[in-house]
Amino acid sequence: MRPWLKKTLVGVGGLVGTIAVGGGGFVWTKTSAYAASMTRVYDSPPPAMVASSDPEVIARGKHLVESLGACASADCHGADLSGGKTLEMGPLGTLTGPNITPAGIPLAYSDGELGRLLTRGLKKDGTSVTFMPVQEFGWLPDEDIVAIISYVRSVPPVEKPNGVMAIGVLGKFLDRQDSIVLDVARRIALAPREQPPAPAPTPEYGRFVARLCTGCHGETFSGGRIPGTPDSIPVPANITPHETGIGAWTYEDFERLLDTGVKKNGEKVDPFMPIEGIARANETERRALWEYLRTVPPKAFGGR
Ligand code: HEC
């Protein structure tokens, strides 16, 4: 080999090696920080919540579980709450919502511990729950959280083992980069809970309801690929009033999407968009959501 070539190759090799080792170290630091955070036991006592057997409370809980809570969608805990379908998210990991019927997770939890899980993202042992988007619905007022617990305690128990939950290195890394949320409690366990106004068809209430859309459509609602997801996961649309979003939509177009799953352009919406849950939102919630989405700053597609 010619000396200059050898020298160049050694130089390039050294550079590549430095990047690989340096990058590897960076990733290792991030994944260790993730692991440390996920084993942290938070000092947050369970609230004094008690499940009710009042049929009205249970009916309110059923409504929330099937609509705003999004608990009963196929990708989450499933229609009978016995566990969702497994989501293969490539290098992000594999996610399956567990069995939350009385024969599943709630068996081991007190009512207060379930209340803490649903408002603080903390499991029975005080560590963070993985991926369950408490940051999107934990704003529900205490009486709604009690209604959810009451309903979950009332459904028929289903004996079914929990599916796979495994977070990949990319998932841990992107969580630490704040690109996706897997370590839920780190964001919310100790933060003050914002109080929503009473339900009304207004943007003020809609701002809370719309938290539900942020995990997919992004914090600014402008959509774009969810970081780290493989091509098999569809790309969330822009739902801001921008021309690349839903600027030209009317409330009737929005209602049609919820009721029939058909977008303004006449195509069927991808089933990854949890239409069956959002469609069960009542008139007040739908209006509030729509009114709020009209007030968010228009933003070009993909800004998330
Ligand atoms: C689990 C992820 C997910 C959640 C949660 C979600 N969406 Fe979507 N949404 C999508 C995806 C993906 C698409 C694009 C599907 C397609 O084009 O077929 C979409 C499309 C849409 C569209 C159609 C836009 C268009 O241009 O045709 C609207 C409107 C919409 N979503 C509103 C909402 C609202 C409002 C919420 C919250 C209440 C919400 N979505 C929650 C994933 C989600």
Predicted local distance difference test score (pLDDT) of residue 267: 96
Please answer whether residues 124 and 185 qualify as being in contact, where contact means their C-beta atoms are separated by less than 8 angstroms: no
Ligand 1 geometric centre to CA of 273 (Å): 5
Q: Is the CB of 215 under 6 A from ligand 1?
A: yes
pLDDT of 3 over the 60 cut: no
Residue 124 to residue 134: CA distance in whole angstroms: 15
Nearest-CA residue for ligand 1 atom 38 is 213
Give me 104's structure tokens.
């599943």
Which of 88-92, 218-222, 290-294 is the least confident region? 88-92
Average pLDDT over residues 219-225: 97
148 lines ligand 1 (CB under 6 A): no
Which protein residue has the closest C-alpha to ligand 1 atom 28? 239
Is ligand 1 within 6 A of the CB of residue 212?
A: yes
Whole-angstrom Cα distance, residue 22 to residue 96?
A: 34
Reported as a single tens digit per residue, the pLDDT across 89-120 is 889 999 999 999 999 999 999 999 999 999 99
Protein residue with least CA distance to atom 5, ligand 1: 213
Q: Are 136 and 214 in contact (CB under 8 A)?
A: yes
Confidence of residue 76 (pLDDT cuts 50, 70, 90): very high
Average pLDDT over all residues of the chain: 92
CA dist., res. 204 & res. 273, Å (int): 24
Residue of 216, 222, 268 to test ligand 1 pocket, by largest number of atoms within 8 Å of CB = 216
Cα 259 to Cα 159, 223, 268: the distances in Å are 33, 22, 12
Residues 171-202: tens digit of each pLDDT = 999 999 999 999 999 999 999 999 999 999 99
Kindly report the three-state secondary structure assignment for every residue of 41-110.
CCCCCCCCCCCCCCHHHHHHHHHHHHCCCCCCCCCCCCCCCCCCCCEECHHHEEECCCCCCCCCHHHHCC
Of all residues in the chain, the percent with pLDDT exceeding 90 is 83
CA–CA separation, 160 vs 173, rounded Å?
Answer: 32
Is any ligand 1 atom within 6 A of the Cβ of residue 68? no
Best mutation site among 260, 273, 285 for ligand 1, i.e. most ligand atoms within 8 A of its Cβ? 273
Q: Do 152 and 78 form a contact (C-beta atoms < 8 A)?
A: no
- DSSP summary character for residue 262: B
According to the model, what pLDDT value does residue 145 have? 97
Q: How many CB atoms lie within 10 A of CB 186?
A: 20
* Residue identifier of the C-alpha nearest atom 39 of ligand 1: 213
pLDDT in tens, 48-64: 999 999 999 999 999 99
Q: With a 6 A CB cut-off, is 236 part of the ligand 1 pocket?
A: yes
Alpha-carbon distance of 78 to 136, in angstroms, equals 18
Could you tell me where the beta strands, DSSP code E, fall in the chain?
Answer: 87-88, 93-95, 166-167
**Ligand 1 close to Cβ of residue 216 (< 6 A):** yes
- Our answer on whether the CB atom of 263 is closer than 6 Å to any ligand 1 atom is yes
Mean pLDDT, residues 229-234 taken together:
90
Give CA separation, 29 vs 36, 166, 169, 228, 296, in Å: 11, 19, 11, 19, 37
Q: In a 3-state reduction of DSSP, which class is residue 122?
A: strand
| pLDDT beyond 80 at 302 | yes
pTM of the model as a whole: 0.90
Angle between helices 251-260 and 283-295 (to 10 degrees): 130
- Residues 74, 62, 144: CA angle, nearest 5 degrees: 115
Distance CA(114)–CA(117), nearest Å, equals 5
What gap in Å lies between CA 185 and CA 131, rounded to an integer? 10
Ligand 1 touching residue 237 (CB < 6 A): yes
Residue 95 CB neighbour total at 10 angstroms: 23
Summarised one tens digit per residue, pLDDT across range 254-278 is: 999 999 999 999 999 998 999 988 9
User: Rounded to whole angstroms, what are the CA distances from 40 to 34, 128, 149?
Assistant: 10, 8, 25
Distance from CA of residue 273 to its chain's centroid? Answer: 12
Distance in Å, CA 201 to ligand 1 centroid: 20
Tell me which residue has its CA closest to atom 12 in ligand 1: 236
Summarize pLDDT for 136-175 with one digit per residue, the tens: 999 999 999 999 999 999 999 999 999 999 999 999 999 9
Confidence at residue 1, expressed as pLDDT on a 0 to 100 scale:
45
Query: pLDDT at residue 6 above 70?
Result: no
Please indicate whether residue 272, judged by its CB atom, sits closer than 6 Å to ligand 1.
yes
Determine the pLDDT at residue 22.
64
- Specify the pLDDT at position 70: 82
